[in-house]
Amino acid sequence: MKNYYLFLAAAVLLISTAATAQQVKSESGPAALTIVLDSAWSNEHEMSDYISLSRQGIASLNPGDYVEIIIAASGKPKIRAAQFIKSGDTQEFKNITTSINKVMCPIFSDVDISKAVEMAFKRLVKSNTANSFAHVTVIVFSDGKVNDSDVCNLRQLSKQFKQRNWSLCITGTYHTNKKLLVAANQGDLKFSLVSDANPVMWIKTQRELTSKEPTIEQSSYISGMRPDKNNGKSRVNIETKVSITDGPGQNDQVPPAVAKKVKLDTEETKKPAAAVTKLIPEKPEPVRKKTIVKPKPAKTSFKLSEKRMWLIPIAIIFVVAVLFALGLFRANKFKSDIDSRLKNSLQKSHGTLVAKINGQTHTLGRQDRIGTINIGSGPNNTIRIPDKSISDRHIRIFRKGSDLFLQNIGRTAVTINSAPVKPRSKQRLTIPSTIEFNGKNRINLTLVRPKPVHQVTNEENKNGTE
């Protein structure tokens, strides 16, 4: 008997849980995510971070949600992807993100971010009428180096986002426009550094906010009132019926005093309106004043006296000197900017992977072009170590994406930076690294980066003088 009651209670609990889940699913609509990528020249080095963050945000969507990717290019913004999530598997997300893998940042290009955000807003408004999104999030991945007019347009667009309870997020760096930071501090939009950006948390927060805040119709029907479509306020129509009686059984008769008063009121309302209009006095026409036009004094032409003609060449020389100094200042600033960009590009460029073992140096090639490197005691290896304790093919180094991995395919374990790697297991490589076999043989992997051009020329000059 106890088992029967337990089974009955479990069935009731399952039915109530399924009904609640179906009700929540029916009340919530699809989510919408729009990603705007800034393709200006200054975003060249951060574009890989933008793509990685975009993948994280797209991967957090559920089947049925809508995703859109817009590239803020010079001129008209470009749409790279616009579709609904069907299955939500990894292959579908990979197909979506392939459209942004090769986003180019042309040299000396400038971008109007507000145009791309305005396009995203208009497209979302158009799609929302047909799909009724439960919550909308727009994320702008940028370095924050926007002009003041862009900031003004973004603040106006953020007001329209707030009216619809949508979220507008933008990233930046330490060189972000100060007015954009002020707008974020005042709550007009959400701002975060590129290094601290978390699109998954933004989307999750927007989901929670929209699920907790009921609409006007929901709140009015909950309280038992009917919503007014004009001003969004709840209104209750109360109808009262009053019957005048003069004692029991006389519901159809009206007292004579009340009937007389009603008759007098109706006679007063039937009076013609002409009698009322006569009592209103007519307004006199305003007296127009004649304006007297005074003659304007004749303009006196300025003539430079012959005694002051020497000021003209001095003024010309002064203007030329100012323009020359201004041009020199801009040229130096442009040169320093180019030098800093070249230095950053050299620092972020992929170097050459070098392996050192037993006093020998092996050049393995550029890090971003490495295929498969086999190391062991056999003759058909990239690096051969003549030691019987090492397997014929002991380890394999390969590249997956932008990372290097080590796979132990030998019989004994190896260590990477004193961390053991068991046979048939993989480990991610961080350069520089030290690989040790049986405590005897050791391989040091380092990365050699190219030297700047001016440093190479200086060294050549020194060698020549010596």
Reported confidence tier of residue 464, pLDDT bands at 50, 70, 90: low
d(CA 214, CA 297): 70
- In order of their start, the domains of the chain are 27-212 (3.40.50.410), 352-448 (2.60.200.20)
Q: How far apart are CA 41 and CA 114, in angstroms?
A: 17
Residues 173 and 46: beta-carbon distance below 8 Å: yes
Query: Strands 433-437 and 441-448, how do they pair?
Result: antiparallel
Which band of pLDDT confidence, cut at 50, 70 and 90, is reported for residue 123? Answer: very high
Burial of 141 (C-beta count, 10 Å sphere; 0-12/13-18/19+)? buried
Q: Round the average pLDDT of the chain to a whole number and report it.
A: 76
For residues 128 and 147, give the distance between their C-alpha atoms in angstroms, rounded to a whole number: 31
Confidence at residue 99, expressed as pLDDT on a 0 to 100 scale: 82
- For residue 120, count other CB atoms closer than 10 A to its CB: 26
Cα–Cα distance, 98 to 75 (Å, whole number):
23
State whether residue 273 is helix, strand or coil: coil
371-404 tens-digit pLDDT: 888 998 888 888 888 888 888 888 999 988 888 8
Q: Look at 280 and 390; give whichever has higher pLDDT.
A: 390
The Cα 417–Cα 434 span in angstroms is 5
Categorize the per-residue pLDDT at 3 as very low, low, confident or very high, splitting at 50, 70 and 90.
Answer: low
* Mean pLDDT within 47-58: 90
pLDDT, position 311: 83
106-110, 166-170, 251-255, 296-300: range with lowest mean pLDDT:
251-255
More confident of the two residues 296 and 199: 199
- State how far the Cα of 35 lies from the Cα of 53, in Å rounded to an integer: 10
pLDDT tens figures, 199-208: 999 888 888 8
- The Cα 32–Cα 55 span in angstroms is 15
Look at the chain and count its residues. 466
